[in-house]
């Protein structure tokens, strides 16, 4: 069996004054994922290594971490698919580290709360279903690919302006799915929120969010779409303030 060297970020704030990296030899086969390699370090080598995971099928987003310089889902990353023979693993950027590979996701999810991620449709109560968006409509074409977000945080980690005062790519992507939905009612409030300085104008158009997203969501393109919408809306409000 082949072996690969895993170099892993270690940090336990209860005992460590600063983070360090430690290396481990991990046996691999063609199907070994990076998450499998980390299990080997935990279970066979007996290391008290902390990481998040759940589904192991690429649907929960919880195992996202920086692997060889890119944020990826560890359960969906085969070790043999990495260009480098060494595997270097560290926690996501732009989020506080709790221990080893585990980050505090609160700032990431708080940015979702800021744009109010709930769907509110006109005339909808517990006895009625919202009108269906036709499958071949432009509206669905824009919204559908963007609803595959698994909340992994890869885009947030790869963004050079997230983690400070910018809402971040995933929350804005979520806002777009609601703003482009003709049934949704909170359009004005959401546009107002997104037009604040930490909203769409905070994006520096580096495009790393789209390059990194494991679900191939065109995140950056969506943010630029909303920037244009926000500018058009601002011009319209100045020209026709009573509309």
Query: Site for ligand SF4 (CB under 6 A): which residue of 37, 153, 163, 202?
Result: 153
From 89-97, 117-125, 133-141, 143-151, give the range in contact with ligand SF4 by CB under 6 A. Answer: 143-151
Q: How far apart are the first and last CA of the chain?
A: 70
Q: Is residue 217 involved in binding ligand SF4 (CB under 6 A)?
A: yes
Residue 155 interacts with which of ligand SF4, ligand FES, none, CB < 5 to 8 Å by class:
ligand SF4
Phi-psi region of 46 (alpha: psi -120 to 50; beta: other; left: phi over 0): left
Q: Is residue 42 involved in binding ligand FES (CB under 6 A)?
A: no
- How big is the site for ligand SF4, counted in residues (CB under 6 A)? 17
Query: Site for ligand FES (CB under 6 A): which residue of 34, 73, 103, 203?
Result: 73
CB of 242 to ligand SF4, least distance (A): 38
Concatenating the DSSP letter of every residue in 171-183 gives HHHHHHHHHT-TT
Query: Site for ligand SF4 (CB under 6 A): which residue of 8, 41, 79, 152?
Result: 152
From 2-10, 78-86, 167-175, 222-230, give the range in contact with ligand SF4 by CB under 6 A. Answer: 167-175
Concatenating the DSSP letter of every residue in 186-233 gives -HHHHHHHHTSTTSGGG-----HHHHH-TT---HHHHHHHHHHHHHHH
Q: Are 45 and 24 in contact (CB under 8 A)?
A: yes
């Amino acid at each position: 069996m082949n072996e690969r060297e895993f170099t892993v970020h270690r940090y336990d704030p209860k005992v460590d004054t600063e983070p360090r990296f430690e290396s481990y030899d991990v046996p691999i086969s063609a199907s070994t994922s990076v998450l499998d390699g980390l299990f080997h370090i935990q279970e066979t080598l007996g290391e008290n290594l902390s990481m998040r995971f759940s589904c192991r099928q690429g649907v929960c987003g919880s195992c996202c971490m920086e692997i060889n310089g890119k944020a990826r889902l560890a359960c969906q990353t085969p070790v043999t698919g990495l260009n480098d023979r060494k595997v270097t693993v560290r926690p996501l950027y732009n989020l506080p580290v709790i221990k080893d590979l585990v980050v505090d996701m609160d700032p990431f999810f708080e940015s979702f709360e800021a744009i109010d991620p709930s769907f509110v449709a006109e005339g909808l109560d517990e006895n009625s279903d919202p009108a269906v968006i036709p499958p071949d409509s432009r509206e669905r074409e824009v919204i559908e690919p963007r609803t595959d977000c698994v909340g992994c945080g890869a885009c947030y980690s790869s963004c050079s302006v997230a983690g400070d005062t910018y809402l971040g790519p995933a929350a804005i992507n979520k806002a777009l799915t609601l703003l482009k939905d003709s049934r949704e009612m909170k359009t004005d409030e959401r546009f107002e929120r997104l037009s604040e300085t930490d909203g769409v104008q905070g994006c520096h158009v580096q495009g790393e969010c789209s390059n990194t997203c494991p679900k191939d969501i065109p995140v950056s393109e969506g943010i630029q779409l909303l920037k244009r919408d926000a500018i058009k809306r601002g011009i319209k409000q100045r020209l026709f303030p009573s509309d």
